[in-house]
Amino acid sequence: MSEKVSATSAASELIRRLQSEHGELMFHQSGGCCDGSAPMCYPNKEFKVGNSDLLIGTIEGCQFYISASQYKYWEHTQIIVDVVKGRGSSFSIEVPTGYRFLIRSKLI
């Protein structure tokens, strides 16, 4: 079975760069606020994970959370974190880099 969450090589490279600058990181899959359904990257423990958030895996050593209600829509897919050039309008840590994380998916 495929991992529930993975990252493209471009996303992995950006994550490692951010880790070297900011230390440990974590991801939370947004449910529609700010940048739509973009994955949000934060310094570890700077985002308060709630009781309804599920840990579904790790990418580059970063825990990846999603709310249980959002997970119902994604449960039959592999979430693939990718990165594209451009600036998102979120609180995610990569915003100043000129790149933004986004989600791709495939059925599993």
- pTM of this structure: 0.90
The CATH number assigned to the domain holding 20 equals 2.60.300
Domains contained in the chain, number: 1
Q: What is the pLDDT of residues 48-75, one digit of tens each?
A: 999 999 999 999 999 999 989 889 988 8
Report CA-CA distances (Å) from 56 to 7, 63, 64, 80. 13, 8, 6, 12
Domain limits for position 68: 5-107
pLDDT in tens, 91-104: 899 989 999 999 99
